[in-house]
Structure 1
Amino acid sequence: MSSKKWFIVGISGATCSGKTTLSNQLQKELKNSVVIHQDNYFLPQDDPRHVKINELNHFNWELITSMDMDKMYSDILQLIESSPSKESSSETIENILILDGFLLFKCEVISNLCDRKYFITLTKEECWERRKGRVYEPPDVPGYFEKVTWPEYVKHRDELIKDNDFCNTTTFIDGSKSKEEIFQMIFTEIKKLLS
């Protein structure tokens, strides 16, 4: 593939940090863009690969193994390889793919596809404020945020921060900023990179 047809943006970060809203807004404003949400790849509840937390009698939905990442990766490849390639000698990018998910960068093959990476952080208090009003399927059980959601996020974030190569290619964003401010910052940067 001599000319690159896709510019791939990865948006990850804490639960309830605004990733999906941001991805959808970018998709609306950027021409020829498509969004793929990692949340659409959760395994069904009856899948034997889920890890059960016995004390809560609930599955751990915060693990990369609770999702079908092979399917997500193959869907991404199918999309970027099937787009009709116009006869063109210039290195023009014709499409933008926006990937969003709280464990997006945990999947190395997908992380490596991203031309730009953004990771949105939140404090525990802010994260809980937003999370407690959300309804999940299956619903969070009492204690799930404290015992599972937050510790898993911190572990994941700390792993990423220790990876120098990852940090050098990723913009960390304070998720307590307004959604509009975060959107404008990323939107402006992408437009500049593509101009």
Structure 2
Amino acid sequence: MTSTPIPLPTQGALTEAQSVEAKRTRIILVGLGGATCSGKTTLAKHLRSILPDSFIIHQDDFAPHSSTLPIHPTLGQDWDSAPTAIDYPRLRSFLATVKLTASVPADHKSHDHLNEQKQFEVSGEMRQKWKKLFAELHEKVAKSSGDKGVGEKVVWGLVDGFLLYWDDEVAASLDAKFFLRVPYAALKTRRENRSGYYTAENTFWKDPPGYFDELVYPAYVDAHKKIFENGDVEHGKAIMPGLQLIEPLGRDMGDIVEECCRSLVGLLESVAPQPDVAS
């Protein structure tokens, strides 16, 4: 498998035509957050298959070099504690570059295609319905005259991450924010059934015994207390402005995809308004 192509040119290597196109391109960044094994990457891939000119930005691609990670006294490398698990300056810079220049830094690489992904199918009829609607909306935006003075091209960046809302600057850069909340027991079962995953250095990591209970879940709770009422990540109300909470356990993936699509239609109408978009 290979990574899906990004529908944006590489920074510093734009042709004249690409430079013109970049000036009329509006980037919409959609946050898809949640704990490890919460289903956020699966959701991101379904949305990518529906939204025109969309691509996924995996937060995992911004993990620092393994040599910089703290070492747990019994479990080895700590890949999950929020302050050290992500190179936030690099992620902030990447998102800013994408949003401001409609291009991708030349040094960006993704390793997500190496990881095993379970498939949760959605109705083909439902997918086609939303693809058609978004294609029509994109066409209307392209024919409109917005704040750029010309019709706009919309590109969706689906930002998938397990620590997406810990860093305030990263969170502020997102135009939409979704959070998939899955209970502890389900997360533990899913994580422990996982064979492992590839790191940003293309090395394979497998959790040692006890890693979820002693490190992964406590780090998840600590990183997300601030976005829930009373710090209750299991049952608390979401208090981060603009955050849409989704509880997927027991729900059909198609229903979740539709919930997100409805919100994104509203977002598209609000950021790129034109008189006849709802006709």
Where on the TM-score scale, by shorter chain, does this alignment land: which range? 0.7 to 0.9
Shift of 1:29: 0.7
Q: Which residue is 1:191 aligned to?
A: 265
Residues 100-119 of structure 1: matches in 2 within 5 Å? 100-119=160-179
State whether structure 2 residue 78 is matched by structure 1 residue 60: yes
- Specify the alignment match of 2:246 in structure 1: 173
Q: Using the alignment, how far apart are the partners of 1:175 and 1:182 within structure 2? A: 7
Change (3 A) 1:165 1:124: closer
Q: Which residue of 1 aligns with 2:228?
A: 161
Match of 1:96, SS state, is: strand
Q: For residue 36 of structure 1, what is the aligned residue in structure 2? A: 57
After superposition, what is the alpha-carbon deviation per residue over 1:115-159, rounded to whole angstroms, capped at 9, x for unaligned?
A: 211111111111112111211332101000010111111222222
Contact map agreement 2:53 2:154 (CA 8 A) in 1: yes
1:89 Cα deviation from its structure 2 partner: 4.2
Asked if residue 90 in structure 1 is aligned to residue 146 in structure 2, the reply is yes
Q: Distance in 1 between matches of 2:88 and 2:95?
A: 10
Unaligned runs of 5+ in 1: none
Aligned residues: 189
In structure 2, the CA distance between the partners of 1:66 and 1:18, relative to structure 1 (3 Å rule), is: same
Code of the residue aligned with 2:256 in structure 1: it is I
Given that residues 93 and 194 in structure 1 are in contact (C-alpha distance below 8 angstroms), is that contact kept between their aligned partners in structure 2? no
Q: How does the TM-score come out when normalised to structure 2?
A: 0.61
Where structure 2 has 5 or more consecutive residues not aligned to the other structure, the ranges are 1-23, 104-141, 198-203, 232-236, 270-279
Preserved contact between residue 30 and residue 156 of structure 2 (Cα < 8 Å): yes
The equivalent position to 1:24 in structure 2, one of 22, 45, 48, is: 45
* AA of the residue aligned to 1:114: L
Alignment RMSD (CA, Å):
2.5
Q: 4+ residue stretches of structure 1 with deviation over 6 A?
A: none
